[in-house]
């Protein structure tokens, strides 16, 4: 039986959460719409350290515009992908809010992967890969992974990172 790993995305509207998830889910992209809660999720089978994993990607279905998501979205999550747009400084600053929400509602051992999206928009860059989240101590600061959901061809290394983080829980 593959092990289920629940992956959620957090970050401001328009940073590219849905675009990235669709890339990550790739050919296994299966959208499920629940009627009671406005979330969508996708599946992808992935193998890491010879273990079969069923990655369940949960998307916010646009609810992030209300600034807080329903606690059920965060419940039982193993990995949270916190996303900002490198061409939008405000989306980086907002991560403080999103990570506070995560700490409040997600299990305490939920892992965070920090992604700077829209790396193809280098000429509009407002956030440097060396910028730090001000409230996070140096030693605990997650590494910023810069990517472009638009030009990303093979998401394999990101899927490896997500699956390994998920297994470590």
Give the interface with ligand GDP as residue ranges (CB under 6 A).
13-19, 117-118, 120-121, 148-150
- The answer to the question of residue 117 lying near Mg ion (CB under 5 A) is no
Interaction residues for Mg ion, span 11-40 (CB under 5 A): 17-18
CA distance 97 to 135: 11
DSSP state letter for 57: E
Tokens matching residue 43:
């599946």
Nearer to Mg ion, 18 or 88 (CB): 18
Please choose which of ligand GDP, Mg ion, none residue 19 contacts, taking the beta carbon within 5 to 8 angstroms, the exact cut-off set by kind: ligand GDP
Of the candidates 123, 119, 142, the one whose C-alpha atom is nearest the C-alpha of residue 131 is 142
Q: How many residues bind Mg ion (CB under 5 A)?
A: 2
Least spacing, CB of residue 40 vs Mg ion, in Å: 9
Query: Cβ(28)–Cβ(42) under 8 Å?
Result: yes
Nearer to ligand GDP, 116 or 166 (CB): 116
Least spacing, CB of residue 65 vs ligand GDP, in Å: 9
Nearer to ligand GDP, 125 or 164 (CB): 125
Least spacing, CB of residue 118 vs ligand GDP, in Å: 4
Of the candidates 169, 168, 163, the one whose C-alpha atom is nearest the C-alpha of residue 2 is 163
Of the candidates 32, 56, 34, 59, the one whose C-alpha atom is nearest the C-alpha of residue 43 is 56
Q: Which residues pair with 43 in a beta bridge?
A: 56
Nearer to Mg ion, 18 or 148 (CB): 18
Residues in contact with Mg ion by CB under 5 A are 17-18
């Amino acid at each position: 039986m593959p092990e289920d790993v629940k992956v959620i995305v957090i970050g401001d509207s328009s940073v590219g959460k849905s675009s990235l998830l669709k890339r990550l889910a790739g050919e296994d992209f299966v959208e499920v719409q629940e009627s009671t809660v406005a979330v969508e999720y996708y599946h992808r089978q992935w193998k890491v350290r010879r273990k079969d994993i069923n990655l369940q990607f949960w998307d916010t279905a646009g609810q992030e515009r209300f600034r807080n998501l329903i606690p059920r979205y965060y419940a039982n999550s193993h990995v949270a992908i916190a996303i900002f747009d490198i061409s939008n400084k405000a989306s980086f600053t907002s991560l403080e809010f999103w990570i506070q929400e995560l700490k409040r509602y997600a299990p305490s051992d939920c892992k965070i992967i920090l992604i700077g999206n829209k790396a193809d928009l280098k000429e509009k860059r407002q956030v440097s890969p060396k910028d730090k989240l001000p409230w996070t101590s140096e030693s605990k600061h997650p590494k910023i992974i810069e990517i472009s959901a638009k030009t990303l061809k093979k998401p394999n290394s990101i899927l490896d990172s997500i699956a390994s983080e998920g297994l470590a829980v």
